[in-house]
Amino acid sequence: MGEGEAGGPSRPEGREGEVLRAKYLDYCSAQVADLLLFLSPDDIYLLAQRAARERGGPGEVSYMRMVQVATEWLSGKITLPPFEIWVEDYLAHPDRYEEYFMGLWESELHRPLEH
């Protein structure tokens, strides 16, 4: 990574920036998915019920909705590094992160840009 005008690391731009952003989102998704794998269906049910109560929403939902709610709730509760810090560490040690990518970052690059 190069140096910016203020003496700090420069922010990746263009295609490299798109790839890094997609990999970051993939990494974050993998972290949440790993936590979900440790949960039993009962744990997911309880998490979804708790999240629904916190939101003031309906208590009974489908299992797919429970997983979605549990995922959203977990995403808000775990601490993930900000993109800029993640990029710096990823560029210095890419091998530490490769096992966490689920391949989603590749499909993210082929989506049309939303305007």
Distance CA 114, CA 39 (A): 34
Please give the Cα distance from 103 to 33 (Å, whole number): 13
**What does pTM read for this prediction?**
0.65
| Digit-coded pLDDT (tens) for 52-86 | 777 776 656 777 888 888 888 888 888 999 999 99
- DSSP class of residue 99? G
Angle at 56 (CA atoms; ends 50, 62), nearest 5 degrees: 60
Dump pLDDT digits (tens) for 19-29: 898 889 888 88
- Measured N-to-C along each axis, helices 63-77 and 14-37 cross at an angle, to the nearest 10 degrees, of 110
Q: From the CB of residue 32, how many other CB atoms can be counted at a distance below 10 Å?
A: 17
Structure tokens at 78: 């775990």
Contact status, residue 79 vs residue 41, Cβ threshold 8 Å: no
Identity (one letter) of the amino acid at 41?
P
